[in-house]
Amino acid sequence: MIALGSDHAGFELKEIIKQFLEAKNEEYTDFGSFDAMPVDYPIFSAKAARAVADGSCDKGILCCGTGIGVSIAANKVDGIRAACCNDEFTAKAARTHNDANILCLGARVISAELAVSLTDIFLYTAAAESERHLRRIKLIEDIEKGVF
């Protein structure tokens, strides 16, 4: 189950991502926004991020103008590793190095075609497995726990 969220700037791209998910037979929950009326991205980012953090969704995809606002907001939720990616290298590394559980896309930055390609990579690239990457991910969790 994929959690989707956007603001007005990312709304249209989110609709395109939905078509891609449907073609791949992937289930999704759309946390809005549901049209192109101006809204505040942290609200929709938080709803989708909490669904990933509580396990009701497996991963998330968030869209705004730059991908930055939704990623900053999502990363405030414990357990979220949201990555704003603008190219295929970083989309792949977000999974293999960081076990990112949310992909953030900038509708005003990248083409819809590239956004779909990054979604494909994000969904179907296995998570980090090596000891060094797992150690670093655990250290991120330690930050959330106030260990350092």
Catalytic residue among 8, 57, 63, 64: 64
CB of 42 to ligand RB5, least distance (A): 9
> Minimum distance between the CB of residue 58 and ligand RB5, rounded to whole angstroms?
25
Q: Which of 66/119 has CB closer to ligand RB5?
A: 66
Residue 11 or 122: which CB sits closer to ligand RB5? 11
Q: Does 64 bind ligand RB5 (CB under 6 A)?
A: yes
Single out the residue of 59, 134, 63 nearest to residue 105, CA to CA. Answer: 63
Nearest distance, CB of residue 135 and ligand RB5, angstroms: 31
**CB nearest ligand RB5: which residue?**
69
Active site residue 64: yes
Q: What residues make contact with ligand RB5 under the rule CB under 6 A?
A: 7, 9, 41, 64-66, 68-69
